[in-house]
């Protein structure tokens, strides 16, 4: 099942890129459609953050150590740190709190 | 930029393994999908217990924006630059970073160079990074003790952050997070994330506010 998802989604994503440089530009220049495509990552990435934090196997629960890791990530982002620093800070904070509690 | 791409790739490799994919699956994603947000989303949905069937549309909806980057890239590379097999290669490199680097230049020659140089460099380092991250992560036994399960949500947050400069985008993000959270107890894993997509559709179709035009 994982292989099916990996192969299908990979080919699909490539075909989307190929369509972008192949179809007439006029097809893609509808302003509203373009805005939808740019908002999709915003809505879905936010949903992925939320489910990553609050989904405990189909019920709502919060692991406050994960939440603290996310708060640390926000601080790193506000300090304009790089991608790697942000996720390492999150992982280290969560790991530290797990070791202590 | 080079260090960024390698580190970004390594974090993807680590998150992918921690989400339950193997090294081969991780590398197929980095080689063939080659689009950071879609890759993180796919492994995030699988790692969250969502089946492959929910992960596929999630990755595709996130990848849809790459098609729209094709418009400026086609203009920059021109008909001649996209002839035959070159189109197949160029298409693969149309992502956030290459588009941003290319359109930031003024001269057509520099734009073309920026596209190809950024694209080949990112592709190489992203894949090397993915492999290193995946190999390192697969040697770790206890994912929780090292806080590796915090890496996926932190990665999503870091990918989301630069897209929040526009006020409308902040509303879309809040709406997406709220809908997904409310649906967690009600629908199978993977679907809460997909259910956030209609919010983007509604926001995109609403009349545009006057001072919002930096996306």
Summarize pLDDT for B90-103 with one digit per residue, the tens: 999 999 999 999 99
Interface contact B62-A21, CB threshold 8 A: no
Examine the domain organization and report whether B27 and B95 are in the same domain.
yes
Confidence tier at B140 by pLDDT (50, 70, 90): confident
Q: Of B16, B4, B10, B60, which is closest to residue B35 (Cα–Cα)?
A: B60
Q: CB-based contacts of B29: which residues, under 8 Å, 6+ apart?
A: A6, A10, B12, B16, B21, B39, B42, B43, B130
**ipTM of this predicted complex?**
0.92
Residues of chain A contacting B80 with CB distance shorter than 8 Å: none
For the segment A51-70, the average pLDDT, to the nearest whole number, is 91
| pLDDT tens-digit series, residues B66-117 | 999 999 999 999 888 888 899 999 999 999 999 999 999 989 999 999 999 9
Examine the domain organization and report whether B133 and B203 are in the same domain.
no
Task: Look at residue B129 in the predicted model and tell me its pLDDT.
Answer: 95
CA B206 – CA B215 distance, rounded (Å): 15
CA B45 – CA B110 distance, rounded (Å): 39
Q: State how many domains chain B has.
A: 2
Residues of chain B contacting A34 with CB distance shorter than 8 Å: 68, 204
Residue ranges per domain, chain A? 63-101
Interface contact B10-A73, CB threshold 8 A: no
Examine the domain organization and report whether B127 and B211 are in the same domain.
no
* Domain that residue B156 falls in: 2-164
Backbone angles phi, psi at B139, to 5 degrees: -90, -5
pTM of the entire predicted model: 0.89
Q: Report whether B215 contacts B162 (CB < 8 A).
A: no
CA B174 – CA A95 distance, rounded (Å): 27
Q: Of B138, B115, B119, which is closest to residue B127 (Cα–Cα)?
A: B119
Hey, is the C-beta of B171 within 8 angstroms of any chain A C-beta?
Answer: no
| pLDDT tens-digit series, residues B5-54 | 898 899 999 999 999 999 999 999 999 999 999 999 999 999 988 877 89
Residues of chain B contacting A36 with CB distance shorter than 8 Å: 200-201, 203-205
Alpha-carbon gap: B179 to the closest alpha carbon of chain A (Å): 8
Cα nearest neighbour of A38 on chain B = B65
Interface contact A13-B149, CB threshold 8 A: no
A51 CB neighbour count, 10 Å cutoff: 27
């Amino acid at each position: 099942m994982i292989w099916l998802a990996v192969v299908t989604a990979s080919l699909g994503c490539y075909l989307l890129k190929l369509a972008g440089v192949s179809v007439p530009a006029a097809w893609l220049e509808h302003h509203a459609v373009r805005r939808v495509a740019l908002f999709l990552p915003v809505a879905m990435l936010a949903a992925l953050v939320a489910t990553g934090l609050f989904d405990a196997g189909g019920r709502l629960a919060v692991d406050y150590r994960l939440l603290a890791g996310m708060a640390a990530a926000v601080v790193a982002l506000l300090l304009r740190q790089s991608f790697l620093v942000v996720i390492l800070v999150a992982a280290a904070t969560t790991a530290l709190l797990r070791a202590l509690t | 930029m080079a260090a960024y791409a390698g580190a970004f790739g390594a974090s993807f490799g680590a998150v992918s393994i921690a989400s339950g994919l193997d090294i081969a699956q991780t590398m197929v994603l980095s080689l063939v999908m080659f689009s950071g947000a879609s890759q993180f989303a796919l492994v995030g949905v699988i790692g969250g217990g969502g089946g492959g069937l929910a992960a596929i549309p999630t990755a595709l909806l996130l990848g849809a924006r790459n098609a729209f980057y094709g418009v400026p890239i086609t203009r920059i590379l021109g008909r001649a630059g996209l002839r035959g097999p070159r189109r197949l290669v160029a298409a693969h490199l149309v992502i956030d970073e290459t588009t941003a680097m290319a359109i930031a230049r003024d001269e057509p020659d520099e734009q073309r160079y920026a596209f190809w140089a950024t694209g080949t460099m990112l592709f190489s380092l992203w894949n090397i990074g993915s492999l290193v991250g995946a190999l390192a992560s697969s040697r770790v036994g206890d994912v929780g003790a090292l806080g590796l399960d915090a890496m996926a949500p932190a990665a999503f947050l870091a990918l989301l952050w630069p897209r929040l400069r526009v006020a409308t985008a902040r509303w879309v993000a809040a709406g997406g997070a709220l809908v997904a959270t409310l649906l967690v107890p009600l629908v199978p894993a993977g679907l809460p994330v997909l259910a956030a997509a209609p919010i983007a559709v509604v926001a995109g179709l609403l009349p545009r506010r006057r001072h919002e035009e930096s996306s």
